[in-house]
Chain A
Amino acid sequence: MENLVSRLLEHLEKTGGLNAVISVIDRDLESMLYLDAIEALKQPIQSGEYVWIVAYDSLQNTLRDLKRMDIDYGSYLGKTLFILDAFGSVKRVPTAPMEGIITLSGYIDDNVFVLKYREAIKNVLNSLPEVPKRVYVLGYNESGMCRIFRNPVKVQRLVWGLRREVPFQVLKISTHLQPECPTLEEFLYMGSDFVIEGFVEENQRKAILTKGVLP
């Protein structure tokens, strides 16, 4: 199956439209379209683009998926690649310190998470040698918000609002497993320029662009 996310990224690069939001929604467990979103980031990561991943599932799952997609993240972590371990921060999962992996410390609830997320962005930006022209942002399994926040709808919308606070282009890719957190789908559709849905039909994986137009 053609990787629609990669095709979209290529199209946006060519047309200078990288300040956009793409949502990837898996309608069932088996479709695993989110792996295409990770694969689509391989080229930007390996060409030294700034990439910011926010993991709403376990950090180990995130790193495993990067590896599965043959992305050598170790060479880029802390330089151009940063991973915010949202899941581990809220769930207090102990992890060994690793350059480029950001954990939010101290007390965290829904409101505090958004404030600390904003602080984390500032800290990373201050540590860079230059202000980026653009940043690729991957929300890894944003449906994990339903497992870690009291009011996931509120956190989702507040986090998406942060995108306009930074002085550079943000190409955001958001991945979701719909059955895990169906309440987030409403805002995904309104806030995204492109939505791709993945599902399985008669043992075949399918992907359909359900919002936006790809020439």
Chain B
Amino acid sequence: MKLVKTGLRPLDKALGGVREKSLILLHEEDPRSLGKLMALEVLREKLDGGHLVGYFNLGMPISVLFELFDKMGIDYRRAFDEDRFFLVDTFGSIYGQRVDFENVQYLRTPVSLETLNDRYIEVIREHKRRWAEKGMFEGRELWGITVSNSDYKWIFGEEPTLRYLELVDAQRHTADVYRKYPSGTNLWVYSGVDRVILPFLYRKADYVLKTGSSIEGDKVVRNLIVVKAPELEDILSFEYAVRDHRIIFEEF
């Protein structure tokens, strides 16, 4: 089984990387922990490394997301130009705040939970077809990053979201796009705590990384906890800090 690096150094060092084509659940337990920034660190690592990435934006106005990319020094413009990166703006597709940017994709309306996965598959199929025609899969990793799956709750409600995720799980085994073209390694962010969707995702994912924070004295302490990994028996924990929107692992 080929291992790929995440760019999260303590994790890569402890596990040697993550298994290619696996599903990584990044559970941001509380907002202060800023766990989502770890997903953006992985995005940066993969774009800088010349790899292929599809990013699924569920929860942020695109202008705010691009501002954040800029603050983090994520060179998304170059990756767009080189056709290595596409961004599916689900938030903008549903709520209408859009930008005219090549490789920022809007889903064909109407978008509902019944049509959503078909809409995603249309976009993914189109990009994989282009990448295959240009021979771009060769020597490159393929990543799908979704920030955040928990946002479906605010759009569609909790129970329908769980139903949708269960259906997507089943469809992944039948959709041609995953058989005709290479499959990627997926990173799904989930923010907050609930007893409806999270248990399903904890069981489904190959890796579960959890971020949490506490205030101790006059200091914020943030931890990344590796809850689940194929090679792991015990739970691992790493302290990190956030500076200028970047994740800093103190010991590394």
Contacts and interface: CB of A to CB of B under 8 A. Distances in A.
21 contacts: A151-B154, A157-B91, A158-B95, A160-B61, A160-B64, A161-B61, A161-B97, A183-B154, A186-B31, A186-B191, A186-B192, A187-B60, A189-B34, A190-B68, A197-B215, A206-B218, A210-B32, A210-B220, A211-B34, A213-B243, A213-B244
B228 interface: no
Pairs A-B, 4 closest by C-beta atoms: A161-B61, A164-B63, A153-B154, A189-B31
Interface string A78-99: 0000000000000000000000
Nearest to A164: B63
Given A157-B91, A164-B67, A190-B34, 14 more contacts: A154-B155, A157-B64, A163-B64, A186-B59, A186-B192, A187-B59, A187-B60, A190-B60, A197-B215, A199-B215, A208-B215, A210-B220, A211-B32, A211-B34
B190 to A, nearest CB: 11
Nearest to B192: A186
B159 to A, nearest CB: 16
Contact of A185 (B31, B37, B91, B95): B31
Nearest to B213: A210
B36 interface: yes
Interface in A185-209: 185-191, 193, 195, 197, 199, 206, 208
B191 to A, nearest CB: 5
Contacts of B37: 190
Interface core residue of A151, A189, A206, A210 (most chain B CB under 10 Å): A189
Interface string B46-69: 000000000000011111100110
Interface string B197-218: 0000000000000000001001
Contacts, number: 70
Contacts of A191: 60, 64, 68
Contacts of B242: 211
Interface string A155-188: 0011011011100000000000000000101111
Contact of B215 (A154, A185, A210, A213): A210
A22 to B, nearest CB: 14
A154 B95 contact: yes
A160 B91 CA distance: 13
A188 B97 contact: no
Nearest to A189: B31
A201 B219 CA distance: 14
A190 B67 CA distance: 11
Contacts of B191: 186
A208 B97 contact: no
Contacts of B215: 197, 199, 208, 210
Contacts of A195: 32
Contact of B61 (A157, A183, A213): A157
A100 to B, nearest CB: 28
B148 to A, nearest CB: 8
Contacts of A206: 218
Contact of A158 (B67, B71, B97, B243): B97
Interface in B118-158: 154-155
A157 B60 contact: yes
Contact of A161 (B31, B34, B63, B243): B63
B175 to A, nearest CB: 29
Given A158-B95, A160-B64, A197-B215, A188 B31 contact: yes
A208 B213 CA distance: 14
Nearest to B61: A161
A77 B71 CA distance: 35
A164 B70 CA distance: 14
A199 B220 CA distance: 14
A164 B64 contact: yes
A201 B36 CA distance: 29
A186 B28 CA distance: 9
Nearest to B99: A164
A186 B191 CA distance: 8
Contacts of A183: 154, 192
Interface in B203-252: 215, 218-220, 242-244
B83 to A, nearest CB: 26
